[in-house]
């Protein structure tokens, strides 16, 4: 049984159709890349899976459950976040740890801060952090409950090359216990991390499969070249 099942998902904002009946699955231990230009519907899909939006029609199952029933076993890391600026890094993580009922919460926070090279700033207020530091704290928040399903929406934005590389290695290591839906505009990153990709355009999935096959079909050397071609062909 797929870990994430999406069937005929639709969503409108007024007269604009953000999602036009998309369907896809994410298998156990898989990283599926959800790609597409701005406005394609990626963030709408992620927000529905996270329970932040309600679809107009269609069905979403996570770990065989409806979204509300699966929330304790999943998490999200997005370019936006809900962390409190006036609280410290450690305080923010403790709040989310308690919301998820994490056991040995101090030990878990200490581990994550060390993993993302944040230990020295744990007592610093979130609003005083650099953009890259905020991104890493948000990643810690996303992993606080050791989720079985992780939604990553532009999760390496603002990271310098060293930390972005380290974060990709961490994401790869998560596959043993976590299934991941991943969005990024960094095509090198997508090729490195994703087992399959689903290409979303104007609210529809126009391709789903392996990046290598997509490059062969369009006779391109890189996924970035394919991305540019698909967007141009649609204009």
Other Cβ atoms less than 10 A from the Cβ of 161: the count is 7
Of 215, 152, 212, 143, nearest to 184 by C-alpha is 152
Residue 159, pLDDT score = 87
What residues contact residue 128 under an 8 Å CB cut-off, 6+ apart?
none
Q: What is the pLDDT along the chain (235 residues), one digit of tens a residue?
A: 899 999 999 999 999 999 999 999 999 999 999 998 888 999 999 999 999 999 999 999 999 999 999 999 999 998 777 799 999 999 999 999 999 999 999 999 999 999 999 999 999 999 999 999 999 999 999 999 999 999 999 888 788 888 889 999 999 999 989 999 999 888 889 989 999 999 999 999 988 999 888 888 888 888 888 888 877 776 4
231: tokens are 């967007």
The sign of the CA dihedral 191, 212, 203, 1 is negative
| Three-class SS state of 56 | coil
Residue 234, pLDDT score = 63
Q: What are phi and psi of 69, to 5 degrees?
A: -80, -15
Residue 235, pLDDT score = 47
Half-sphere exposure of 196 (CA within 13 A, CB side): 13
Q: What is the dihedral of CA 206, 209, 215, 216, to 10 degrees?
A: -110
Q: What are phi and psi of 118, to 5 degrees?
A: -120, 0
Domains in the chain, CATH or no CATH each:
14-81+147-234 (3.40.50.300)
Other Cβ atoms less than 10 A from the Cβ of 85: the count is 11
The CA distance from 158 to 167, in Å, is 12
* Element housing 132 (H / E): helix 131-143
Which position has the token pair 């959800």?
34
The CA distance from 187 to 172, in Å, is 16
Quick check: pTM over 0.95? no
């Amino acid at each position: 049984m797929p870990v994430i099942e999406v069937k005929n998902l639709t969503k409108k904002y007024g007269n604009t159709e953000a999602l036009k009946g998309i369907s896809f699955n994410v298998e156990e231990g898989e990283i599926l890349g959800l790609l597409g230009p701005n406005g394609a519907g990626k963030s709408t899909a992620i927000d529905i899976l996270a329970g932040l939006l309600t679809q107009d029609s269609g069905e979403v199952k996570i770990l065989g459950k409806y979204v509300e029933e699966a929330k304790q076993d999943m998490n999200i890391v997005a370019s936006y976040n809900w962390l409190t600026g006036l609280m410290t890094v450690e305080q923010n993580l403790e709040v989310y740890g308690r919301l998820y009922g994490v056991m040995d919460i101090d030990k878990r926070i200490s581990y994550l801060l060390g993993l993302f090279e944040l230990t020295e700033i744990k007592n610093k207020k979130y609003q005083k952090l650099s953009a890259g530091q905020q991104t890493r704290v948000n990643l810690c928040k996303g992993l606080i409950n050791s989720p079985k399903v992780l939604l990553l929406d532009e999760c390496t934005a603002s990271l310098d090359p060293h930390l972005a590389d380290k974060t990709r290695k961490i994401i790869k290591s998560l596959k043993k216990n976590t299934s991941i839906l991943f969005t990024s505009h960094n095509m090198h990153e997508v090729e490195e991390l994703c087992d399959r990709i689903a290409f979303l355009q104007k609210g529809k999935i126009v391709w789903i499969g392996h990046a290598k096959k997509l490059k062969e079909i369009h006779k391109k050397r890189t996924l970035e070249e394919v991305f540019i071609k698909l967007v141009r062909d649609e204009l």
